[in-house]
Amino acid sequence: MNTLNRRCSSSLGKKYVMAVTGLALFGFVVAHMVGNLQIFLGREILNGYGAFLKSKPLLLWGARLGLICLVSLHVWAAIRLTQDNRAARPVAYAVQASISASYASRTMLMSGLIVASFIVFHLMHFTLGGVDPEFLEFRDGAGRHDVYRMVVAGFSTPIVSIFYFVGMALLCLHLSHGVSALFQSLGLRTGHWVRAIDLFAKAAALTIFVGNCSIPLAVLIGLLK
Amino acid sequence: MKLTLKVWRQKDGDSRGEFATYQANDINPDMSFLEMLDEVNESLLARGEEPIAFDSDCREGICGACSMVINGLPHGGRKATTACQLHMRLFEDGETVTVEPWRARAFPVVRDLIVDRSGFDRIIQAGGFVSVSTGGAQDANVIPIPKPDAELAMDAAQCIGCGACVAACKNASAMLFVAAKVSHLAILPQGRVEKNRRVLRMVEAMDSEGFGNCTVTGSCEAVCPKEISLNFITRLNQEYAVALLKSTGQSAR
């Protein structure tokens, strides 16, 4: 057990934790986007989806707890790895040059931290009612929580929507590197898969950016009201 | 050609270092970077100053001794080129060139541009070998090896252990070096027998030397004078995961 513990917290072990939690969180982001895009199908469908999620408290809270664990592990691994990395080069180069390393790959920590703070705001905004407690009281004709009205009201303030665009841009940057790097860390980015995986990562990141931003944009231009 | 050189000077590991500026005049564009430094050292000696200490040996790009960061990139950052094979014609006349040692906690500066790379030796000692001593080599083709495997193993075996990967990595990670050493043995039948034990021990040694972690930026592969591919790091990640599962299953024995 001791040996297992030691090896799992080795440099590669921590990268596996990073990759597995990253993959699961990526899966959540995709599912979350698909669920939310139902707003374009109308109030009825979106509110029905919201009510469906709320009707399964065990599943809902299981997912929430799971997500909290995943985020905690992801952040824990990031902090530990960053500490190691900083310690590994105590004296910096006088001339800073970078070769081959993409902007996204060099700024994973920053993009990750900003996305994390965005998630806190997002939860306050639509889940906890910290921004406007009224949001959670909206009811539709069927007595269900009016998610549709909440989203439209939430994105009607341009500054809030702009913050969402920025958050999504950074998530997109984070995923464009993270999604391909996680396959690398798990030892699956080999041979002919290399190009396919890199392409998939960029396409997925862009899809998530466009998909998620389409909602506040649609509210701002009056498509959803 | 004329160049202004900013070179890191440090008496020993305990001293504080600093940059010194030298004018290098009459540089022949056909010289290598090390020959240019030799000339600078000649003039320093003539003036009664300490010459710049740097590592070099074969001067034909195969030994991995030369180790200097030139304008922020190891070996100057030119594709598949060591500092000894870097020609002065690639620099602009009148350019200011900054020369620094490899920067990593695991590679402490010994003097000027010379760093102690024995951390790499200790990683090799931890498992980078095949532990059989069975006398002379047997006939070729006694053990059939598929051509693609042989070529892949040779690609990994090209690593000369210069440490440019560590120097280029923003995390001073030695993953590309360890990946190359683990791979060239694991791909061939002679080395495959010990592959699980080897990868666990070499990664453990790598961690204890104080190298950083891989964040898949690809800088290592870009500066590697032997063009070792990042794909070998994928292989290392895979080998380690398999070894971790297998060794854990066997630890009761």
Query: For an interface test with A, which of B4, B216, B224, B253 has the most A Cβ atoms less than 10 Å from its Cβ?
Result: B216
Alpha-carbon gap, residue A186 to B50, rounded angstroms: 50
Segment A148-204, tens digit of pLDDT: 999 999 999 999 999 999 999 999 999 999 999 999 999 999 888 999 999 999 999
Residues of chain B with pLDDT below 70 are 134, 248-253
Question: Is the CB of B247 inside 8 Å of chain A's CB atoms?
Answer: yes
Model confidence at A90: pLDDT above 60: yes
Nearest residue, CB atoms, A12 vs list B98, B217, B240: B240
Task: Report the gap between the CA of B139 and the closest CA in chain A (Å).
Answer: 32
Nearest residue, CB atoms, A194 vs list B103, B231, B244: B231
Alpha-carbon gap, residue A50 to A146, rounded angstroms: 9
Segment B121-130, tens digit of pLDDT: 999 999 999 9
Q: Return the pLDDT at B85.
A: 96
Q: Which residues of B touch A13 (CB under 8 A)?
A: 244
> What's the average model confidence in pLDDT over A106-111?
96
Minimum mean pLDDT range among A36-50, A129-143, B132-146: B132-146
Q: Which residues of A touch B236 (CB under 8 A)?
A: 12, 187
**Contact across the interface for A185 and B216, Cβ inside 8 Å:** yes
Q: Which residues of A touch B223 (CB under 8 A)?
A: 99
Q: Which fold has domain B3-111?
A: Ubiquitin-like (UB roll) (3.10.20)
Model confidence at A3: pLDDT above 90: no
Question: Is the CB of B236 inside 8 Å of chain A's CB atoms?
Answer: yes
**Contact across the interface for A96 and B72, Cβ inside 8 Å:** yes
Other beta carbons within 10 angstroms of residue A169's beta carbon come to 16
Q: Return the pLDDT at B249.
A: 60
**Contact across the interface for B104 and A89, Cβ inside 8 Å:** yes
- Which band of pLDDT confidence, cut at 50, 70 and 90, is reported for residue A147? very high
Q: Return the pLDDT at B139.
A: 86
**Domain limits, chain B:** 3-111, 118-250
Q: Which residues contact A198 (CB under 8 A, 6 or more apart)?
A: A180
Model confidence at A225: pLDDT above 90: no
**Contact across the interface for B213 and A85, Cβ inside 8 Å:** yes
Taking CA–CA distances from B171, the nearest residue in chain A reads A85
Share of chain A above pLDDT 90, in %: 89
Q: Return the pLDDT at B248.
A: 67
Alpha-carbon gap, residue B170 to A88, rounded angstroms: 9
The residue type at B198: R
Burial class (CB in 10 A: 0-12, 13-18, 19+), B176: buried
Phi, psi values for residue B173, rounded to 5°: -90, 145
Taking CA–CA distances from B209, the nearest residue in chain A reads A88
Task: Report the gap between the CA of B136 and the closest CA in chain A (Å).
Answer: 36
Q: B residues 212-231 near A, CB within 8 Å?
A: 212-219, 221-223, 230-231
Q: Which residues of A touch B103 (CB under 8 A)?
A: 89, 91-93
Q: Which fold has domain B118-250?
A: Fumarate Reductase Iron-sulfur Protein; Chain B, domain 2 (1.10.1060)
Q: Which residues contact A156 (CB under 8 A, 6 or more apart)?
A: A219, A220
Task: Report the gap between the CA of A201 and the closest CA in chain B (Å).
Answer: 14
Alpha-carbon gap, residue A31 to A51, rounded angstroms: 17
**β-bridge partners, B9:** B18
Q: Which residues contact B59 (CB under 8 A, 6 or more apart)?
A: B32, B34, B66, B84
ipTM: 0.92
CA distances from B177 to B67, B128, B132, B190, B211 (A): 15, 11, 23, 20, 11
**Contact across the interface for B172 and A194, Cβ inside 8 Å:** no
Query: For an interface test with A, which of B18, B71, B171, B251 has the most A Cβ atoms less than 10 Å from its Cβ?
Result: B171
Q: Which two tokens stand for residue A147?
A: 């998610």
Segment A60-71, tens digit of pLDDT: 999 999 999 999
Q: Return the pLDDT at A9.
A: 83
Q: Which two tokens stand for residue A172?
A: 């997109």
Task: Report the gap between the CA of A70 and the closest CA in chain B (Å).
Answer: 19
**Contact across the interface for A93 and B207, Cβ inside 8 Å:** no
